């Protein structure tokens, strides 16, 4: 048995990713979600249902990634420092999952929350994409299967989350539900660096295969992408048709599918097309979410014991 020795780097990038992950650390308790209650009351029933369901879907994916995906991959990755980074990322996925429950607690009744998680269990397309990704995680028997699991992880982090991210970003970009939107911003920033790191590991592993093996693996990865895409189109139609945003969400999903492929060093699969500028700004690499190597974030400040202001706060006894 060996102990991790950070004085002897595994490579020239893992320490940087470790430091950035630590710098980005946050918890949901640091965001005052009660600020969203007024916006929530002004939303229609269809809008509230959509918001709850997309966050329910995201909770399932984060649960899988934190409890299955990252642990399975780190078990088979060489390098103790790399395992440490993946373990930290796994923990953050659990924080993401918990943060959605914090949003639910703030905005919904206990009965409504139970209904959200029942919907998650019953939604065919959501369960299908969870099963597809999980099947690639559960079959790591060698280097090729490890590569495929890494590709599935990148698809989850850089692609499948985004049909759920669309609506919170869409509202926050219009000044609505901004506290919950801040949590989505923080999650986006984490997911982007997770997808990038696992993508780098996948590209490194890919180079160890023969040309014939690479060709076969690429074919399998694109086949998974297409199967996930077909399922995602049904999923987004069910979610977004009631408020008329399906086509905009689908364009956003295709955009992020291409970004996931770029993280894997592969060619884009979908042609370029316009994407809703409000939502696109939420993942702009020149703004808060993907600004990996600078300050923590866009208006995010770590706070402790957050309390709302009251009239007493403005009574000064000189």
Residues tagged active-site = 100
Residues contacting residue 207 through CB under 8 Å, at least 6 positions apart: none
Nearest to 60 by CA among 8, 129, 115: 129
Say what the alpha-carbon torsion angle 300, 166, 37, 57 is, to the nearest 10 degrees.
-100
157 known ligand binder: yes
The response to whether 96 counts as a known ligand-binding position is: yes
d(CA 202, CA 152): 10
* 194 marked among binding-site residues: yes
Q: Are 176 and 39 in contact (CB under 8 A)?
A: yes
- Check whether 247 is labelled as a binding-site residue: no
Task: Quote the CA–CA distance of 97 and 93 in Å, as a whole number.
Answer: 6
Tokens, residue 95: 């924080």
Region of residue 265 (left: phi > 0; alpha: psi -120 to 50; beta: else): left
**Residue 269 assigned as binding residue:** no
Residue 279's nearest CA partner among 161, 159, 166 is 166
Separation of CA 160 from chain center: 8
42 assigned ligand-binding residue: no
Q: Which long-range contacts (CB under 8 A, 24 or more apart) does 124-128 make?
A: 125/231, 125/232, 125/234, 125/235, 125/238, 126/57, 126/60, 126/235, 128/231
Candidates 269, 307, 306, 303; CA nearest to 26 is 303
Q: What is the DSSP string of 52-104?
A: HHHHHHHHHHHHHIIIIIHHHHHHH-S-HHHHHHHHHHHHHHHHHHHHHHHHH
Binding-site residue positions: 62, 93, 96, 157, 191, 194
Binding-site residue positions for Fe cation: 62, 93, 96, 157, 191, 194
């Amino acid at each position: 048995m060996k102990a991790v020795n950070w004085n002897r780097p595994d490579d020239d990038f893992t320490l940087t990713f470790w430091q950035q992950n630590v710098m980005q650390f946050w918890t949901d308790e640091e965001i005052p979600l009660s600020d969203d209650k007024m916006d929530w009351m002004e939303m229609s029933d269809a809008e509230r249902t959509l918001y709850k369901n997309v966050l329910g879907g995201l909770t399932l994916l984060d649960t899988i990634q934190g409890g299955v995906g990252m642990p399975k991959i780190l078990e088979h990755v060489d390098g103790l420092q790399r395992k440490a980074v993946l373990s930290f990322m796994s923990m953050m996925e659990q924080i993401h999952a918990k943060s959605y429950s914090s949003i639910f607690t703030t905005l919904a009744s206990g009965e409504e929350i139970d209904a959200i998680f029942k919907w998650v269990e019953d939604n065919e397309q959501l369960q299908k994409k969870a099963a597809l990704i999980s099947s690639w995680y559960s079959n790591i028997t060698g280097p090729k299967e490890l590569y495929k699991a890494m590709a599935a992880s990148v698809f989850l982090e850089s692609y499948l989350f985004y049909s759920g991210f669309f609506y919170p970003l869409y509202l926050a970009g219009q000044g609505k539900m901004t506290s919950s939107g801040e949590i989505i911003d923080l999650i986006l920033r984490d997911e982007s660096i997770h997808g990038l790191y696992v993508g780098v590991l996948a590209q490194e592993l890919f180079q160890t295969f023969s040309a014939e093996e690479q060709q076969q693996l690429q074919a399998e990865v694109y086949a998974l992408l297409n199967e996930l895409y077909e399922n995602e189109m049904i999923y987004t139609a069910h979610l977004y048709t009631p408020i008329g945003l399906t086509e905009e969400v689908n364009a956003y999903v295709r955009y992020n599918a291409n970004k996931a492929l770029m993280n894997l060093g592969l060619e884009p699969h979908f042609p370029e097309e316009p994407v809703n500028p409000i939502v696109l700004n939420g993942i702009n690499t020149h703004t808060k979410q993907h600004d990996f190597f600078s300050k923590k974030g866009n208006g995010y400040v770590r706070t402790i014991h957050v309390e709302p202001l009251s009239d007493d706060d403005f009574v000064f006894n000189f």
